Amino acid sequence: MAAEEVSFQSNGFDPLTWHDDYIDQNGNKYCVLPDDELPTDIDTPPSMHNKRTLYYQQSLLSKDEAASLQYAAEQSDNFIESNRIAGIIEDGVGIAEPLTTILDPILSSTILPWARDVSSKPTLTVADALIRTYDPSEECLHLTEHYDESAYATVIIPLNDPNEYEGGLYVQSGASSNTRRHVPFTTAGDAVLHKYDVMHGVNVQSGKERCSLVLWFGENEESVKSKTVPWVIREAKSSVHAAFLFAFNSQHGLLGFNRDLEIAKQYYGWASRRGHALSEYKLWLIEEDATHSDRVQTEPVAVDM
């Protein structure tokens, strides 16, 4: 009797569906995330929440190209065992041979033209790239949900068969984990692109290890060189996600923003009033911290006599 074929992938989250009727004029499939936080009790233009789109291209890389990158990462002197990461590009500059030798021609001939096409951003420029492995038998199993706050767009490409492990990439369209959706891939070398406004994470539960190439892009060469996020500034009053990132960067003084807690509170408040629950939570934390500080300062101090 032939062995039963076991196919992993979804880890309990509803999967995104790449519909054939969603194929755009260039042959790229895409899926628009539902907005699980769009308020029903206030008059909020849906554009504030954006149509967050993931683009999908099957076999953007060949299986041989994917396998060669995985092997080179595993053999690289730049591979960090503790977090299973092999850095390739930092701030637009290659940092690891022979990984850059393998990636550069694929990047220039295949990945970058595709990413520029689907993002409608012909000046898109690579800022950072790495290969990361998640092994279910070790502690490196997941990456908690987050925004890629420094990237205009992100591309994720599985380098090994995505049907050999349970879980993988998911997107989260609201503050609750109940809004997570699994991102399905068909084979090694498939590619997904999302922009800065998509919250996402990784969860690998069982099966073999997951190895993927991740690339982060600035909207142009200048934004990569200056380590700034002009798209966040530009869209902070038309997108709750950009407003959240504007507030976060202001709160912590990141990516060219001056540290300004009052500005952070303004933008968290703006986004929270338009239904962005994570902004509401961040604003609550700031106010709670301020209340605690005031309480500590007004408490009587005991003096030994």
Q: What is the pLDDT of residues 100-112, one digit of tens each?
A: 999 999 999 999 9
In whole angstroms, how far apart are CA 14 and each of 134, 166, 182? 21, 13, 6
Report the alpha-carbon distance of residue 270 to residue 104 in Å, rounded. Answer: 42
The per-residue pLDDT for range 148-191, each reduced to its tens digit, is: 999 999 999 999 999 998 889 999 988 888 889 999 999 999 99
Q: Please, what is the angle between helix 261-272 and helix 277-298, to 10°?
A: 140
Pairing verdict, β 53-57 and 191-195? antiparallel
HEC letters along 154-168: EEEEECCCHHHEEEE
Query: What is the reported pLDDT for 208?
Result: 87
Amino acid at site 175: A
In whole angstroms, how far apart are CA 273 and each of 126, 134, 174? 35, 37, 15
Cβ neighbours of residue 257 under 8 Å, at least 6 residues apart? 246, 249, 250
In 3D, which of 132, 207, 160 has the Cα closest to residue 63?
160
For the record, the structure tokens of 257 come out as: 């923003």
Are 115 and 193 within 8 A, CB to CB? yes
Give mean pLDDT, residues 88-105: 95
Residue 206 confidence class, pLDDT cut points 50, 70, 90: confident
pTM confidence score: 0.88
Asked if pLDDT for residue 3 goes beyond 60, the answer is no
In 3D, which of 159, 204, 161, 164 has the Cα closest to residue 182?
204
Residue tagged 């999967």 (tokens): 15
Residue 127 confidence class, pLDDT cut points 50, 70, 90: very high
Amino acid at site 213: L
The per-residue pLDDT for range 193-203, each reduced to its tens digit, is: 999 999 999 98
Asked if pLDDT for residue 290 goes beyond 50, the answer is yes
